[in-house]
A and B are shown apart, each in its own frame.
Chain A
């Protein structure tokens, strides 16, 4: 039995040790916004924030997050409205199929809490995320727009 907070809401659920956090979020909690693209930590689609830190949910066991606070893409909107980063993605056409987007939003959210990243730093962060649709440039643009760089 594990207890954790996800997007501000408390949960108490059974999880067998081998259950991956990605599957726990998607299928036990029904939060399907976090996507699974590879299950070996390369594509980045499954990225969420655990205690504020962006991590691959496919490389964490759900049981490891007992007592933790998790944020997923579903928690980004503020009072039901898209936040500045989400709006920038829409303005810059930074998503097409949208499958890689939640993971990138979560990693970018952490990056933007530090000093404003340069475009090179944004591209560096993005090197841990695969996108097959956009060619990345619009994504860099969207994040840079929010960073003001």
Chain B
């Protein structure tokens, strides 16, 4: 299945991007560049300074009297005008776009001031008087309010643990962090009182399940909530999924005040109150036979989702459910998943989405076991990797791994990194008293999420009482205009991944043109685009279903054009000629064929059924594999970690554009290295955000990142039309634990947690 890739096709070639020219000229159209509706006024948000407080009194009268101020929307207004957001778990507290009686995290919106410009709106905020009564914040995830507690068991984990020669147990925490895109949230909301339609522009990334969530909160049927995304988005990495909350907030402001409202988030707001990855505490028990066979994995997880379990949480926890056994053939797996609330910013999607947290636990446990069993960590993994002849492989928790050759990837990573020589260097470095370490990580990277996985938060009985959820589908349209111009529309809301280029490559192959001849529109307009609840850019779904839908739509157009040529008995008719006939002379078309050339296709990834009654689910449609080797040296007197060498070998199936693939690998590596060495969202004991600006939330810069060696293997997916698997998140899953494994190896410690800043590593050395 799929397009044959070779020299004559565009797909598979590292062509330069179509996106680049306007961006390089400064002619991108990002959210704050657009003026989609006249007379928009500007909003600024008053936010709770306290992590947990009763809002005793709010008086906006001084603000209302200030010149240039249009009005103020309060939390009371929000509660009166909207419904709580539907959430993924039954919740004791309703979640609104602003706090009304109780603020639950520092930075939570409390009111919105709208004025002639942002400067005046911020002046107005200072004139809103709010009286707070501080309440005790809950910041310890193990003592937070548990809103979901589900346990899962596959095979016989208890029996396997009892029969094991070695049981490794440990606690593997993963900190809260964020992809922190360079462009913040942006919204323009325009409520039309006459039609009852809210039109909103926002740099939203999907999934478009959240469109329904927002519409429900706004008390609007979906068709009356028109959401439009701009042509360009300045990065998201999952973080812009949560902008829907602010779309609702600004929609209500527009409704109350009778003017269009524009809000551009600033960096301090972004770091405090946009979104973040969950912090997770994982206690793992890993049972091994003496020869290194992994017999069982048991997880006990506290998942800190912040102040509200807002949609789509607890997705971070369940996205990886099909991969609880990682890259290994272990059949006995158990997990207890507790979702807890703390008084911090609510979480949502972030690059890796559950993978960094999961693999930190699995791959650390593997290293601990290797140490105790006296086995080389790479050999221990080799012993347990799923074999190349076992695919498609069904995991104990229901995951279906499509294809792969994990051992070959491992071999290549060991060879490219010169692993044996590194171990020899390590021995001589140790003899010199130097702290030199090597770390390995093996990661199965899922892509194309099954929208049904979120229902694992419910019991089978609860699921049976509701509507099943499943699948991941995307729509695309390919049209040829009367003059032969080719336009593609797809709802994958890219934020720099080069979707337009890849779509053009695919359509160019199907229609026999060059990519420069293909116009690709990636803006979504929920009133006019072909979209699904799954649409958007997340779980690395583009290469699979996004590209798949484009491919199918292009095939439909190509087939129709060929049918026209066949009917007219002239194979030499050019594309332009055929288009002309289809538009101008429908009388010449074959019987039953509609005029024009405009085809839409929806592609649904296969094998994505709802969870079954045994809580098994194929949580993703395609699975890539990554093997990383990290080499580090730790400076004893300062704790500074130097990454001497880093190798990553990727198998993402068929590569649609190798240059873009390497770009995604490098970007994922930078995010992963950030989590490993620099980045953590920190709150103090009272719930105040300490990493509140770029002075304290430390994103790595060019001199901070080690050089990266990238290897590729391709085992195509049998489940996607082009054989491509998603990629882009994998290195956020592998890099943090590979570096942690290397540093732990260097220091000779078992307990290690992130980020490995010099100060924290030095403290570790003192213990």
Contact = CB atoms under 8 A, between A and B. Distances in A.
Q: Do the two shown chains form a genuine complex with each other?
A: yes
Interface of A: 16, 18-19, 26, 31-40, 42-43, 45, 72-74, 76-77, 82, 86, 89-91, 93, 95-102, 105, 120, 122-124, 126-140
Given A38-B694, A90-B17, 8 more contacts: A16-B119, A36-B32, A37-B184, A39-B267, A74-B25, A96-B235, A98-B23, A134-B663
Prevailing SS type, chain B contact patch: loop
18 contacts: A26-B32, A32-B28, A35-B30, A37-B234, A37-B267, A73-B26, A93-B16, A97-B234, A99-B235, A101-B23, A101-B24, A102-B26, A127-B703, A128-B701, A130-B699, A135-B666, A135-B708, A136-B702
Interface in B410-450: none
Given A33-B26, A33-B28, A37-B267, A100 B182 contact: yes
A16 to B, nearest CB: 8
Contacts of B182: 35, 37, 43, 45, 97, 99-100, 130-132
B23 A32 contact: no
Prevailing SS type, chain A contact patch: loop
A123 B702 contact: yes
Chain B interface residue number, banded: 35 or more
Contact of A133 (B17, B30, B496, B695): B496
B291 interface: no
B24 A95 contact: yes
B667 A32 contact: no
Given A37-B182, A93-B17, A133 B235 contact: yes
A77 B28 CA distance: 15
Contacts of A39: 266-267
B172 to A, nearest CB: 26
A29 to B, nearest CB: 12
Contact of B496 (A32, A43, A98): A98
Given A127-B701, A137-B666, A98 B694 contact: no
Contacts of A124: 703
A125 to B, nearest CB: 8
A96 B663 contact: yes
Interface of B: 16-17, 19-21, 23-28, 30, 32-33, 119, 179-184, 232-235, 237, 266-267, 495-498, 659-660, 662-663, 666-667, 669-671, 693-695, 699, 701-705, 707-708
A98 B693 contact: no
Nearest to A124: B703
A130 B701 contact: yes
Contacts of A36: 32
Nearest to B657: A93
Contact of B701 (A76, A89, A95, A136): A136
Contacts of B184: 37
A98 B19 contact: yes
Which of B26, B496, B662 is the most central at the interface, judged by chain A CB atoms within 10 Å of its CB?
A: B26
Nearest to B119: A18
B705 A130 contact: no
Contact of A35 (B17, B19, B183, B662): B183
B699 A136 contact: no
Contacts of A72: 26
Contacts of A73: 24-26
A15 to B, nearest CB: 12
